[in-house]
Amino acid sequence: MFQQLTALPADPLLGIAVAYRQDDNPKKVDLGVGVYKTEEGNTPILTSVKKSLQILLDSEESKSYIQARGNQAFLDGMEKLVLGADNPLLSSNRVESVQAPGGTGSLKLGFELIKRGNPNAKIWVSGPTWANHNALIKSTGLASEEYPYYDKVNNQLRADEMLEAFAKLGKDDVVLLHGCCHNPTGEDIPADLWPKIADLAVENGFTPFIDIAYQGFGTDLETDVQGVRHLLSKVPEALIATSCSKNFGLYRERTGLITTISESPVAAGIALTHVLNIAREIYSMPPSYGGATVGILLGDEALTTEWKTELAEMCARMRSLRALLVDKLHARDVDQSFDFINRQNGMFTFLGITPEQVQAIRDEYSIYMAGSSRINIAGISNSNVDYIADAVAAVLK
């Protein structure tokens, strides 16, 4: 059976990670895979998370399965975090959540649910979007198309074109929106556009599917989801895939949840049975550790305060690295402005250089980034920023 298969090319981004590891240049820099890093290049376990994990280890008495929908304290805590503790939706009985393996697993459950609800649904993704969105939609067998999002030439949002595209959508359409810290561009939907998107969704009947993988990495936990909360307060139906990989630093624990907002409590209950059934068909129950850890953390005021401080520190560091990179690039008399990097949010930006220039930087400087020129801001440090700016300036001359 396996003789019939032909080998697939390595995932481009994971391929970059392998090439980086094999490079013996002591000055090498990894701006590829999207994990947070400290000045020293480490991805540490947050202290608040470690303390929560210790409480879990000390109190856990069984390795029997957890309930199919996951850890209830986790689900309650995360719904409050995303929607806001006083959101009337929380007491409406229209909201149901199921723990899933990471943001990826949550997205997969969401797409499969859409397919059951409407096999003719088309998923609209931002141009560009996180590459795995396309893979997940394709694997589910749903149709997809891009809506205009980022103008790579002028480094800005294609706001008018995006709204024009949304104005043409209808009941068979699902619009996948990045809640904040858009991956790969860093360019977010500004506060004043969310109400316009909400109006279009209500008028035309398309369904928003929000992907939140970076809450707290843009400005802060509340500001980052203001637009999303407004949209969700207006529409009858929506889906939210939330990842705890980045803001809780739980990457390998595969922690996330899929949340459905339905038109009525009855519809919400039915949707839940389908999400649980889909999960059962793929992996049965979610892994326990990540959800249980976040459940403990969010249920404890002191640990939550400590986590918020750690998250704010990561966010502030990425902001200052953006400013530092822009200053260093401008100090090298490059022709173009890189000010857009300061306006953007989260872990990523496109440098706006060609694939050939990306390759030249890799060959000559051992600086690794995606072919699209997407860089992980957290891969920059005070000790490598001059080296990076030198390399970018050199290929632009």
Angle at 56 between CA 50 and CA 58, to 5 degrees: 105
Among 99, 245, 349, 381, binds ligand PLP (CB under 6 A): 245
Q: Between the CA of residue 184 and those of 128, 150, 157, 180, what are the distances in Å?
A: 7, 10, 13, 11
What would the two tokens of residue 213 be? 């993988």
Site for ligand PLP contains 99 (CB under 6 A): no
Please give the Cα distance from 239 to 207 (Å, whole number): 8
| Least distance from ligand PLP to the Cβ atom of residue 215, Å | 11
Indicate the angle between helix axes 131-140 and 102-117, nearest 10 degrees: 40
Site for ligand PLP contains 179 (CB under 6 A): no
Site for ligand PLP contains 102 (CB under 6 A): yes
Is 76 known to be catalytic?
no
Catalytic residue among 108, 122, 246, 328: 246
Give the residues across from 125 on adjacent strands. Answer: 146
E strand or H helix that includes residue 182: none
Q: Between the CA of residue 264 and those of 120, 237, 250, 267, 334, what are the distances in Å?
A: 23, 9, 33, 5, 56
Select 33 or 360, whichever has its Cβ closest to ligand PLP. 33
Is 211 known to be catalytic?
yes
Query: Which residues are within 8 A (CB) of 35 and not within 5 positions of it... i.e. 6 or more apart?
Result: 43, 246, 251, 376, 378
Please give the Cα distance from 251 to 244 (Å, whole number): 7
Site for ligand PLP contains 34 (CB under 6 A): yes
Site for ligand PLP contains 279 (CB under 6 A): no
Among 70, 103, 287, 379, binds ligand PLP (CB under 6 A): 103
Select 84 or 346, whichever has its Cβ closest to ligand PLP. 346
Please give the Cα distance from 110 to 212 (Å, whole number): 13
Q: Between the CA of residue 226 and those of 144, 231, 285, 327, what are the distances in Å?
A: 27, 9, 32, 30
Site for ligand PLP contains 175 (CB under 6 A): no
| Least distance from ligand PLP to the Cβ atom of residue 195, Å | 23
* 3-state SS, residue 148: strand
Please give the Cα distance from 334 to 173 (Å, whole number): 43
Among 48, 243, 372, 384, binds ligand PLP (CB under 6 A): 243
Among 48, 104, 155, 349, binds ligand PLP (CB under 6 A): 104
* Site size with ligand PLP, rule: CB under 6 A: 13
Please give the Cα distance from 345 to 213 (Å, whole number): 13
Residues 370-389 vs ligand PLP: string with x where CB under 6 A?
--------------------
Tell me the window of 24-32, 96-104, 160-168, 232-240 that interacts with ligand PLP (CB under 6 A).
96-104
Is 397 known to be catalytic?
no
Residues 212-231 vs ligand PLP: string with x where CB under 6 A?
-x------------------
| Least distance from ligand PLP to the Cβ atom of residue 250, Å | 8
* Residue the block writes with tokens 């999960």: 279
- In the complex, the residues that contact ligand PLP under the rule CB under 6 A are 34, 102-104, 130, 178, 183, 211, 213, 243, 245, 251, 256
Residues assigned a catalytic role: 130, 211, 246
